[in-house]
Structure 1
Amino acid sequence: MLAWLLVNAVVLLALLAWVYGRYALRHVGYARHFTKEAVFAGEEIEMVERIVNRKLLPLPWVRLESMMASGLVFGRQHDLDIRSGDRFQNHISLFSLRSYRQIVRRHKVVCAKRGYYVLESATMTAGDPIGLSRPSRRFPLALTLTVYPEVVPMREVPLPAHSWLGDVTVRRWIVEDPFLTAGTREYRAGDGLRSVNWKATARTGRLQVHRKEFTADHRVVVCLNLETHERMWNAVLEPERIERAIRYAASILSHAIREGIDAGLLSNGWTFGGPKEPVRVEAGGGAVQRTALLESLAKLQLETSVTMHALLDDELARDPQETDYLIVSCHRGAALEERAEALRRRGNGVEWLLVEGGRDR
């Protein structure tokens, strides 16, 4: 009798294991999304998961596992185990799922570091109540999140106090002065009627507007140098210092766009998902331009593709008109100084923002 019960038990367990091994993950769906597609570093968002079991067979246990970058900081939950490393973190959660049931799980996430985060897949494992069978299934996600650099107040950006940037450009674009004019120019689409100079219009026979010194012809290009010293090549050795430089660049560009100034970006790094080529965002204005600049900085990798002085050689060859350059750099090497002086001789405004070592003050 005991032998017969043991045989029945073994057969029943084997049948249970076969059923779960074959059908546990059939008609199971999984999806996740972030509540925002793009945020600034330091902001908190939610990651929402939806798991659905579209069949009669209940799942007494489900193990969900995914790998993410460590720049996203998750809050602690009783059913979530996070095993963190320097660059990546492994998320493991364990829960049950009854028949014909959907559950929604919400996770608080602090976007601690700028970056472009890609979540490619999650792996689900389920099985019978005693764990004899453990079928697994990989769910492709293709989920992305863009985390822009933190934009700090301009008073925290260490711009030089005694320079053309402080004396001239402050009037032109750092601090908007709507009464500062520099002659007239012909009307262009988008100009407001309040800017029309009626006397000049009557004199010339063509519609003329006041030319504001801070927006008329000039534009600013931020040259973000990822080299921490003149002889550095390839990988960045002081990431915290370069991250500070990126925050300064983001703050200046964002402020310039808000003040109505055309702004562009030039960097000897390269961006995630693209070729290992220098970053160049041509100067422009408006909300779309600001987003393009911040997105480029979010995707910027801490690795150089060329030297910064080679990029300035390209600028000299391109002969950009009415462009001011702000070089955000950790050093003022001889090669960089030489190119900066060549730009000055040609009539371009050039200023430096040196990023000192150590932590943020």
Structure 2
Amino acid sequence: MTIVWIIISTLCCVFIFSIIFSKWGLTNLHYDRYFSKEAVFAGEQIEMIEVLINKKCLPIPWLRLESQISPALQFNAPSQLEVAAEQFHRSLFSMMPFQKITRRHQVTCTKRGYYPLKTIDMTAGDPFGIGTTHRQQQVTAEILVYPRLLDREMLALPAHRMQGEALVQRWMLLDPFLQAGVRGYTPGDALNTINWKLTAKTGQLQVNQHDPTADHHLLLLLNFDLTEDMWMPILEEDRLEWAISYIATLADTALNRGIPTGFGCNSYSILRSGQTRKKPIFIAPNNNREQYGYLLETLASLPSDRSVSFITFLQQLFLSQKTDILMLTAWINDSLQEEIRRLEERGHAVKLFKLHELDNLVR
């Protein structure tokens, strides 16, 4: 009989514990999470900090937290963190009464974008796994990942010979719109600066020589139509990402030299509120203190999608002053050439780069 009573007593205790944990397991449990930085560049590492406070006298034998996180945020997972194939990240905890736990996760941001974390699923239970309780909680944390900046030494900018000095590499933003003359080819010259007509005439490689930028407004344009049919899906996202990084690097270089720089494209922005403003992007050239951050934030929030065709975007483009336009596009046709001619008739200078030429510009 004694053994029977022990078994019955044990079962009653287990039953009571399961009821207690089912009802109060998540009561007075405070949870928060945040990133160590608001914004980083692609490839950089940050911390995601989780803070748990058990504000009651009841211990929590086990607590599981689940949250869906983009695969672009890669966790350098410790043993307590389970990374599921569906990109659900599960953290396991065990808490004593009135205990506070702070856990830090190292996260590598592999791709530009805006990544909001909105909800967390919390499940707690008794030691026997019988009584469990669950709730979903709104816990917002967000990180903005800027495009990866390219190494400026990788950009094949022309080398310059200075009077009285040996050949040196001066990483300057050249004015591709102001041609100062022609000279012989030297190592380091970009292929797109070669003057093929004079090369054929002289039998030696000749390149167009450009003067450094003095005082102008620079507008960087990117065509998100990777084919002439804007309704075709974007298949070469890597090429588009490369172009965005290239534009970010050019903007960084130009603004560091005080050149008013702007950006435009036929994509759109995903706002931090989660709303989508499906309008083409245009940021007028400027060199004030806020411009660099505004450009980076805009480039980070661009989806691989279009709002209008690039031709429509150019037709709607209005510039109040003469501007040097650097245009990156995967293709060129009669309609695009007509829009370029229209811009040039208005006094703007247009330099066109096809996206596949970037492979030649970067060594």
Matching residue of 2:341: 341
* 1:296-327 per-position Cα deviation (integer Å, ceiling 9, x unaligned): 00000000110111111112xx3532111111
Matches within 5 A, 1:163-312: 165-166=175-176, 168=178, 214=213, 216=215, 218-233=216-231, 235-273=233-271, 274-312=276-314
How far has the Cα of 1:50 moved from its partner? 0.6
How far has the Cα of 1:16 moved from its partner? 0.5
Is the contact made by 2:177 and 2:350 (CA closer than 8 Å) also made in structure 1?
no
Task: State the SS of the aligned residue for 2:20.
Answer: helix
How far has the Cα of 1:9 moved from its partner? 2.3
- Inter-partner Cα distance in structure 2 for 1:106 and 1:214: 47
* 1:80-121 per-position Cα deviation (integer Å, ceiling 9, x unaligned): 110235xxx110121211111101101111111100010001
- Inter-partner Cα distance in structure 2 for 1:224 and 1:105: 41
Is the contact made by 1:39 and 1:147 (CA closer than 8 Å) also made in structure 2?
yes
- Inter-partner Cα distance in structure 2 for 1:124 and 1:319: 53
Task: State the SS of the aligned residue for 1:84.
Answer: coil
Matching residue of 1:313: 315
How far has the Cα of 1:160 moved from its partner? 9.9
Is the contact made by 2:112 and 2:300 (CA closer than 8 Å) also made in structure 1?
yes
Is the contact made by 2:62 and 2:93 (CA closer than 8 Å) also made in structure 1?
yes
Matches within 5 A, 1:67-106: 67-85=68-86, 89-106=87-104
Give the TM-score, by structure 1 length: 0.80
Task: State the SS of the aligned residue for 1:300.
Answer: coil
Is the contact made by 1:116 and 1:145 (CA closer than 8 Å) also made in structure 2?
yes
Moved more, 335-344 or 287-296: 335-344
How far has the Cα of 1:157 moved from its partner? 4.2
Is the contact made by 1:111 and 1:147 (CA closer than 8 Å) also made in structure 2?
yes
- Inter-partner Cα distance in structure 2 for 1:331 and 1:10: 74
- Inter-partner Cα distance in structure 1 for 2:267 and 2:70: 20
Kindly provide the amino acid, as one letter, of the partner of residue 311 in structure 1.
F
Matching residue of 1:30: 31
Q: Return structure 1 stretches of 4+ with deviation > 4 angstroms.
A: 157-161, 213-216, 357-361
Is the contact made by 2:177 and 2:349 (CA closer than 8 Å) also made in structure 1?
no
Give the TM-score, by structure 2 length: 0.80
Task: State the SS of the aligned residue for 1:301.
Answer: coil
Matching residue of 2:208: none
- Inter-partner Cα distance in structure 1 for 2:349 and 2:36: 43
- Inter-partner Cα distance in structure 1 for 2:32 and 2:75: 18
**Structure 2 unaligned runs (5+)?**
160-173, 181-211
Is the contact made by 1:233 and 1:304 (CA closer than 8 Å) also made in structure 2?
no
- Inter-partner Cα distance in structure 2 for 1:159 and 1:125: 57
Moved more, 275-284 or 238-247: 275-284
Kindly provide the amino acid, as one letter, of the partner of residue 142 in structure 1.
T
Number of aligned residue pairs = 311
- Inter-partner Cα distance in structure 2 for 1:25 and 1:116: 31
Task: State the SS of the aligned residue for 1:18.
Answer: helix
**Structure 1 unaligned runs (5+)?**
171-212
How far has the Cα of 1:266 moved from its partner? 0.7
Matching residue of 1:113: 111
Task: State the SS of the aligned residue for 1:287.
Answer: coil
Kindly provide the amino acid, as one letter, of the partner of residue 137 in structure 1.
R
**Cα RMSD between the aligned structures?**
2.4
How far has the Cα of 1:5 moved from its partner? 3.0
Is the contact made by 2:177 and 2:351 (CA closer than 8 Å) also made in structure 1?
no
Is the contact made by 1:160 and 1:352 (CA closer than 8 Å) also made in structure 2?
no
- Inter-partner Cα distance in structure 2 for 1:65 and 1:215: 55
Is the contact made by 2:67 and 2:89 (CA closer than 8 Å) also made in structure 1?
yes
- Inter-partner Cα distance in structure 1 for 2:247 and 2:334: 22
* 1:161-186 per-position Cα deviation (integer Å, ceiling 9, x unaligned): 9xx9436289xxxxxxxxxxxxxxxx
How far has the Cα of 1:342 moved from its partner? 1.7
How far has the Cα of 1:257 moved from its partner? 1.1
Moved more, 11-20 or 327-336: 327-336
Matching residue of 2:54: 53
Counterpart check, 1:39 vs 2:33: no
- Inter-partner Cα distance in structure 1 for 2:269 and 2:85: 25
* Identity in percent: 34
Kindly provide the amino acid, as one letter, of the partner of residue 13 in structure 2.
L
